[in-house]
């Protein structure tokens, strides 16, 4: 039995939850999100909030039960607070800049600039004294995490000098170089 799946998801007063069939829609101050619950699970709105239960006790139902409950909880957090990832750029001459509202240009040591297209619903801001701080925010947890991962993948931090793009607060294990 899933300990997470058993708990109902409380719905705050400023969020409207709508259930139609297997689809859950959450509407809050930041926007609207939807999630389709797998067919092996049933979803219903109660006084405690949104409850997800198994239709019958099978392995696929047990494996998706807790994940579906967490997805619904993520919808609520997204439409109320939103999600944010902060990234830092380390390296001499490495910087970021915005080209319009939908393109991020990264100068991270290649012979060319890396240009990333920002999907709709995601907000990217460049700050810092040397344009070395990037903030990715939005209401969809998966989309925000994916965009932050793509920015980091443009130049992963290397272990010898620590150059590259990393998440704020991320520790990079440093290696010792060659000795004479």
The Cα 36–Cα 68 span in angstroms is: 9
Predicted TM-score (pTM) of this structure = 0.89
Residue 101 is predicted with a pLDDT of: 87
Altogether, the residues listed in the chain come to a count of 180
In a domain, 93, yes or no: yes
Residue 129 is predicted with a pLDDT of: 87
- Which of 11, 177, 166 lies closest to 89, judged by CA? 166
- 142 and 155 inside one domain: yes
- Tokens representing residue 39 in the block: 């067919």
The domain in which residue 113 lies consists of: 83-167
- 16 and 63 inside one domain: yes
- Tokens representing residue 3 in the block: 């300990």
- 69 and 126 inside one domain: no
pLDDT in tens, the chain (180 residues): 668 888 999 999 999 999 999 999 999 999 999 999 999 999 999 999 999 999 999 999 999 999 999 999 999 999 999 999 999 999 999 999 999 889 999 999 999 999 999 999 999 999 988 899 999 999 999 999 999 999 999 999 999 998 999 999 999 999 998 888
- Tokens representing residue 174 in the block: 């440093």
């Amino acid at each position: 039995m899933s300990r997470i799946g058993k708990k109902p998801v409380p719905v705050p007063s400023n969020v409207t939850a709508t259930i139609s069939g297997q689809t859950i829609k959450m509407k809050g101050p930041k926007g609207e999100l939807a999630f389709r619950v797998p067919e092996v699970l049933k979803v219903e709105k109660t006084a405690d909030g949104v409850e997800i239960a198994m239709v019958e006790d099978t392995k696929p139902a047990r494996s998706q039960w807790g994940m579906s409950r967490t997805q619904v909880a993520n919808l609520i957090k997204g439409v109320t607070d939103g999600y944010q990832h902060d990234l830092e750029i380390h390296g001499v001459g490495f910087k970021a800049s915005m080209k319009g509202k939908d393109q991020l240009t990264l100068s991270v040591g290649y012979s060319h600039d890396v240009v990333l297209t920002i999907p709709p619903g995601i907000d990217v801001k460049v700050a810092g004294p040397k344009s070395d701080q990037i903030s990715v925010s939005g209401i969809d947890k998966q989309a925000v995490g994916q965009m932050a991962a793509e920015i980091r993948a443009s130049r992963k931090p290397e272990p010898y000098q620590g150059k590259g793009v990393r998440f704020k607060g991320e520790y990079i294990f440093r290696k010792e170089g060659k000795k004479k």
